[in-house]
């Protein structure tokens, strides 16, 4: 597997030798000093180019980066399925190589760069042939820190978490496994993750990132909470789904009470109590029931 130095040297050499490429910058985890380095980190690179057409029309130019295991071109895929995409301004290549390295490379015109450059707080300039890259602050993960919620955001999160649990419950009772699973994973877990993020943020004065999709939860949650969080995942057995659902409720409640105290607002205990009663009722509801109560 090629080293970081070898990869960065290659990325810069290609840019220096191609007159169409006028500047290079990078963002992502490799520019974040708070992220441990590992072999799966990709290289999020942008080439600022004079035009995109010649790159797109003669796609073999990317072969210089190494032997491809697989490639995805998101903009081309969007175009294939009929979405309107302006390929004249920007185009992306997601490349996984046979040695395990990955480069997420985007080419963009000067005009597109001016609109986009520095919007990611982890942006680092690597090469600037013409002095076109604007001056930006030193890279930091500040743009990825958890934002302190407003009271309205907090209450809305609590309300949606408790309200949507009824959908999971009825899906289980109806034996609608895909529906109940999707409602839990896409809706309930989303609200739970938001509360976990806020709780972690509140413990660090909202100057911390829990990572994309909560990938740093294990690091930032106390062991007890982490063990509870793990139990919110289960298989397709309905008894296990009920257990994971009630564990999610317990974890949400504990964290939300703390976050509410941080915000100076009372946790909605009534919604919690009423929905827990409803969930217990549905869990014990006979399959031939004609009434919920």
- Per-residue pLDDT averaged across 134-161, rounded? 95
* Residue 113 structure tokens: 């760069």
Rounded CA separation 263/259 (Å): 6
Assign 159 a pLDDT band (cuts: 50, 70, 90): very high
Can you tell me whether residue 40 is helix, strand or coil? coil
32 with 122: CB under 8 angstroms? Answer: yes
Residue 168 has pLDDT above 90, yes or no: yes
Residue 33 has pLDDT above 90, yes or no: no
198 with 146: CB under 8 angstroms? Answer: yes
Sign of CA dihedral 25, 142, 185, 228: positive
Per-residue pLDDT, 265: 98
Assign 154 a pLDDT band (cuts: 50, 70, 90): very high
The owner of tokens 């490799």 is 30
Per-residue pLDDT, 241: 98
Query: Could you give the domains of the chain?
Result: 4-143 (3.30.460.10), 146-283 (1.20.120.330)
Per-residue pLDDT, 202: 97
Rounded CA separation 107/73 (Å): 12
C-alpha torsion angle, residues 91, 93, 94, 97 (rounded to 10): -170
Nearest Cα to Cα of residue 208 among 8, 67, 217: 217
Percent of the chain predicted with pLDDT > 90: 92
Residue 81 has pLDDT above 90, yes or no: yes
Assign 187 a pLDDT band (cuts: 50, 70, 90): very high
Residue 136 has pLDDT above 90, yes or no: yes
Q: Is-above-0.85 flag for pTM?
A: yes
């Amino acid at each position: 597997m090629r080293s970081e130095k070898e990869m960065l040297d290659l990325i810069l050499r290609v840019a220096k030798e191609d007159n169409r490429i006028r500047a290079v910058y990078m963002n992502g985890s490799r520019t974040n000093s708070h992220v441990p380095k590992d072999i799966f980190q990709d290289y999020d690179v942008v080439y600022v180019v004079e035009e995109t057409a010649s790159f797109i029309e003669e796609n073999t130019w990317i072969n210089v980066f190494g032997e491809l295991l697989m490639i995805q071109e998101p903009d081309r895929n969007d175009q294939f399925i009929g979405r309107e995409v302006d390929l004249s301004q920007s185009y992306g290549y997601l490349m996984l190589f046979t040695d395990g390295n990955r480069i997420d490379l985007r080419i963009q015109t000067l005009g597109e760069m001016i609109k986009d450059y520095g919007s990611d707080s982890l942006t680092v300039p690597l090469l600037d042939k013409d002095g076109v890259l604007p001056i930006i602050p030193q890279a930091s993960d500040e743009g990825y820190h958890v934002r302190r919620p407003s009271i309205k955001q907090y209450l809305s999160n609590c309300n949606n978490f408790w309200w949507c649990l009824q959908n999971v419950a009825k899906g289980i009772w109806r034996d609608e496994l895909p529906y109940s699973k999707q409602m839990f994973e896409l809706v309930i877990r989303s609200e739970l993750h938001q509360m976990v993020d806020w709780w972690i943020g509140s413990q660090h004065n909202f100057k911390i990132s829990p990572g994309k999709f909560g990938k740093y939860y294990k690091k930032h949650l106390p062991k007890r909470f982490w063990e509870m969080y793990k139990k919110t995942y289960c298989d397709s057995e309905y008894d296990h789904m009920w257990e994971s659902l009630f564990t999610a409720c317990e974890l949400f409640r504990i964290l939300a009470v703390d976050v509410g105290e941080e915000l100076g607002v009372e946790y909605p205990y009534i919604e919690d109590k009423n929905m827990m009663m409803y969930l217990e009722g549905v869990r014990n509801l006979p399959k031939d029931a004609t009434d919920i109560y």
